[in-house]
Chain A
Amino acid sequence: MIVTLKINGEERSVSAAGWESLLNVLHDDLGLPGSKAACEQGECGSCSVILGDTLVCSCLVMVGSCEGADVTTVEGIADGDDLHPVQQAMYESAGVQCGFCTPGFVVAAKHLFDHNPTPSAIDITEALSGNICRCTGYGAILRGLVSLADDGERE
């Protein structure tokens, strides 16, 4: 089938079997490899995208169910060369090591801050508990995002 999606603000059509995962279509067919396949069971969050206004694991979404949907992937978070504040915060706090989980964290953190610009540390922890990181132990990611939330408080 031909599926038309609005990805990062741009309309894209792709020929795919309707049962294929949104992740595979993004990664292998649409030239958007930022979303990562790490468990393909919805456990690790490495493939997180925002579908409409909902944070989803794109490995668990059939592309055939996405006709006409708005999809935000990690490639659509920065504004050109300007990093999104969650990206800048994770960069400066050394919240990136191997980076394979990073796209999922960026997308999930953006979704959180879009809905709550001043989350507490435990709010951040809970909101990102669907994203597994094996390198950092989460501390640096938390420090970066807590400091971003503190900046939000001050504004």
Chain B
Amino acid sequence: MTTTSYRVAGRVGESVLRPDGIPKLTGNFAYISDLVADRMLWGATRRSPHAHARITKLDVAPALAMAGVVAVITQEDVPGNPRFGQVEQDQPVLCDGIARYWGEPVSVVAADDPETARLAAAAIVVEWEPLEPLSDPEVAVETDGKVIRQIRIERGDLSASGTVVVEGTYATATQDQAPLGPEAGLAIPDGSGGVDLYATTQWVHVDHSQIVDCLDVTPDQVRCHPAGIGGAFGAREDISLHIHLCLLAGITGRPVKMVYNRTESFVGHVKRHPSRMEYRHESDENGKLVKVSARVLLDGGAYAHTSEAVVANAAFFVVGPYNCANVEVDAIVVRTNNPPTGAMRGFGVVQTCFAHESQMDKLASAIGIGPLDIRRINALEAGDPLATTGQIIEGSLPTSRVLDALESIPMPEFETTDDPRLLPGGTGRTTEPSSVKRGVGYGLSLKNLAFSEAFDDFAEARVLLTTAGVEVHTAAMEVGQGLVTVCQQIARTVLGIEKVAVVFDDTSKIGSAGSTSASRQTQMTGGAVHAAAAQLLQKILDDHDGDELRDDGVYLTGQLVATIADICTDGPIEQWVQFSHPPTEEVDSKGQGNPHAGFAVAAHRAVVEVDVDLGLVRVVRIDTAQDVGRVLNPDAAIGQIEGGIMQGVGLAVMEEVVVDAGVIKNPTFTDYLLPTFLDAPSIEARFIEEPDHWGPFGAKGIGEPPTISSTPAVVAAIRDAIGKDLTRVPVRPQDIVGL
């Protein structure tokens, strides 16, 4: 007799395909912008044409008088808290008489069709007294009430000094997440004062609490539903059209849908903070860091959003994955009349990583050692204290292994070509092959995983065994990253049952999963699913005296002892878990303490070719090694790495929201450049698997690190090619040719 080993397909570690892949490929997946409802109205928004101005006249009567217009509302129509915000409630639902940024919503309209809604929004009479916009964050630092948060870090001996000193001032521009799906929402009134909302988001529960507060209703009257969404990358972390739609649905008693166009999307969501950073690194003669001092200034735009947490990340990761005993930091985020900023992939660490990596290269070159040498000499590893806060790194942090793996990837040959598609100028055929110079550069980054600074960070999940298979319930947002697949894999692996469905519940049915951000959902919601499934398995095995669960029932020493129907005699068996990561602390007045739950390190090597005459860059290749804890789905992990790198490449060489006196000059895909297929470098990635101290199967979050150190690697490669001291991103043609 032969025995075959029992195995469930689609477990952890396999490249399981997405359950929503086929509907997405055939055009049948329902995004929020595709939803419709009976008697549905369309919403449109009237916005401020000024970055800072006072309303002197506001008359909605001409809009209301138009045929097909059902409602027009202003700030006076907000029944509850007139302000919202997930950290500080400082932003008016609709303009409170003063517009504080270009494009701030003044009034919203509901009408029978989108054209009428847009015409009605335009027909509202608004007269303005323009005010001087505060557009320089340095001026904001000196202005009363404009500092959102300031963090001071003092660690070690601040009088310490090194024999080698390098200084630099760096800047990063505003970057837009540019998710392909613009903001969209559909609010459906329930006929008894409540509302169901389907809207682009990364966290339905944090939307829910703000909506309830502004509508002045009870929590059970608002139900926020996870729904189909075209990307996020931080853009959906804050409220956009959510409260507007709920108000319009309440007032009209009819479903109301709103979809932003691309320009509205640019003004309608927060962006990556632009930064200005002054750095001083001091080392001994061998390159070992003695002291790092830095001042970091972030522009938070008009309202607070998540700026308090972004500046903390910028401050705590000011040194990067390096040991240094003496550190002094001032990190400040201010209010201005520039476009609001908040979360974007990398969350504050992108900015300081560009600066610290530029400094490390500068230091290596001052000492006369290589870029990998300086990073190895100073590498922060598990058990070392974080240079800024002094927190001892718990769990895994294989920094040296990551560097070794990156170095082991062969370098591509420099092939001369006449094919314009492979030259920096592309098919514009502008580049002379003889003008092309190649450069190579490195970047190394450290990122915190999940929420920090004593935030009560948890995720709920419910796992059920039914006669039809397993159901995993969560309110987590699947925004494209692949959480849906990972949840299936975890449940299959733990329970031994192949058929697993993930059900995305609204806020009335399950507690918060926390935000789809901070690289956290695989660890947090994945952790909750893992714990719930493990407890459910134990309960089932205990109840039926078995030692294994399979697709058809409970087994004891290889013999079936209870079928699934037996187990579910009284209905589905379920387990509900609220999962939290290890507790974190607030830092003290000198920035010392244990604010983080976990860390991940990543390294990138960029190869670029630069047309030195025209200042054009082609990123030929990016190789990377990333500390991932444990890979749950290799293809999906590669997808996060490649997609994240492309956003880092974008910031390095093309992506910039151009802002002039608070006004965005390029709020379209024609003028805001995104990397296309032809801009995409070939990428080779190595996973470094050292299981972390928490998270399912030792997995770490993987979404953000690829975006963080790819940017400085590309810039270092351009410097290597042209020998110029590039200090801001994106690097523009004029920065390369020196105009």
Q: Is B53 an interface residue (CB 8 A)?
A: no
CA distance A101 to B27 in the complex (A): 10
Among A112-155, those with CB < 8 Å from B are 122, 124-126, 128-142
Instruction: Please state if A91 and B25 are interface contacts (CB–CB under 8 Å).
Output: yes
Q: Which of B15-49 contact A (CB under 8 A)?
A: 15, 17-18, 20-22, 24-31, 33-34
| Least distance between A12 CB and chain B CB atoms (Å) | 16
Most chain A Cβ neighbours within 10 Å, of B261, B419, B636, B680: B680
Does residue B522 face the partner (Cβ distance < 8 Å to A)? Answer: no
A84 CA to B427 CA, complexed, in Å: 30
Point out the residues of chain A lying under 8 angstroms from B168, CB to CB.
Answer: none
Cα distance A87–B23 when bound, in Å? 11
Q: Is the CB of A139 within 8 A of B683?
A: yes
Within 8 Å of chain B (Cβ to Cβ): is A13?
A: no
A43-B669, A98-B181 given as contacts; is B642 within 8 A of A138 (CB)?
yes
> For the complex, is B231 an interface residue (Cβ under 8 Å from A)?
yes
Interface residues on A, range: 35 or more
- 1/0 per residue, CB under 8 A from B, across A53-86: the answer is 0000000000000000000011101100001000
Q: Which residues of A contact B30 (CB under 8 A)?
A: 33
Nearest chain A residue, comparing its CB with the CB of B479: A98
On whether the beta carbons of B645 and A34 are closer than 8 Å, the reply is no
Residues of A within 8 A of B33 (CB): 36-37
B581 to chain A, nearest CB (A): 25
Query: Would A78 and B677 count as touching, CB distance under 8 A?
Result: no
The docked-state distance in angstroms from the alpha carbon of A37 to that of B229 is 13
> Distance in Å from the Cβ of B258 to the closest Cβ of chain A?
13
List, in ascending order, chain B residues with CB within 8 A of A126's CB.
421, 427, 677-678
User: Using a Cβ–Cβ cut-off of 8 Å, how many residues does chain B contribute to the interface with A?
Assistant: 59
In the bound complex, do residue B262 and residue A125 qualify as a contact, i.e. CB atoms below 8 Å apart? no
Contact A98 B180 (CB under 8 A): yes
Using an 8 Å CB-CB cutoff, how does the interface string of B245-275 with A read, 1 for contact, 0 for none?
0000000000000010110000000000000
Q: Which of B555-570 contact A (CB under 8 A)?
A: none
Contacts of B261 in A (CB 8 A): 37, 40
A33-B34, A34-B28, A36-B181 in contact; A99/B668 too (CB < 8 A)? no
Complex CA distance for A38 and B259, rounded to whole angstroms: 10
| Contact among A78, A100, A122 with B26 in the assembled complex (CB-CB below 8 Å) | A78
* B628 located at the interface, meaning its Cβ lies under 8 Å from any Cβ of chain A in the complex: no
The answer to whether the Cβ of B441 comes within 8 Å of any Cβ in the partner chain is no
CB <8 Å contact, B29 and A99: yes
How many contacting A-B pairs (Cβ < 8 A)? 184
* Chain B residues with CB under 8 A of A77: 26
Whether A102 and B680, one on each chain, are in contact in the complex, defined by CB atoms closer than 8 angstroms, is no
Contact B669 A99 (CB under 8 A): no
A85–B647 CA distance with the chains assembled, in angstroms? 29
Q: Does A15 count as interface, using CB distance less than 8 angstroms?
A: no
**Cβ contact within 8 Å between A101 and B180:** yes
Interchain nearest-CB distance for B446 vs A (Å):
22
Asked if residues A135 and B262 are in contact (CB atoms below 8 Å), the reply is no
| Beta-carbon contact of B669 and A132 below 8 Å | yes
> Is A96's CB within 8 Å of the partner chain B?
yes
8 Å CB interface, B664-683 against A: 668-670, 674, 676-678, 680, 682-683
B722 interfacial contact with A, CB 8 Å: no
A103 to chain B, nearest CB (A): 5
Decide if B642 touches A136 in the complex (CB within 8 Å): yes
Question: Is residue A11 contacting chain B, with contact meaning CB distance below 8 A?
Answer: no
* CB within 8 Å for A38 and B262 given contacts A134-B233, A137-B644: yes
22 contacts between A and B (CB under 8 A): A35-B27, A38-B180, A40-B262, A46-B180, A77-B26, A83-B26, A90-B25, A92-B17, A94-B635, A98-B179, A98-B180, A98-B480, A122-B421, A129-B677, A132-B669, A134-B231, A134-B647, A135-B639, A137-B642, A138-B646, A138-B677, A139-B683
Interface residues of A, Cβ cutoff 8 Å to B: 27, 32-41, 43-44, 46, 73-75, 77-78, 83, 87, 90-94, 96-103, 106, 122, 124-126, 128-142
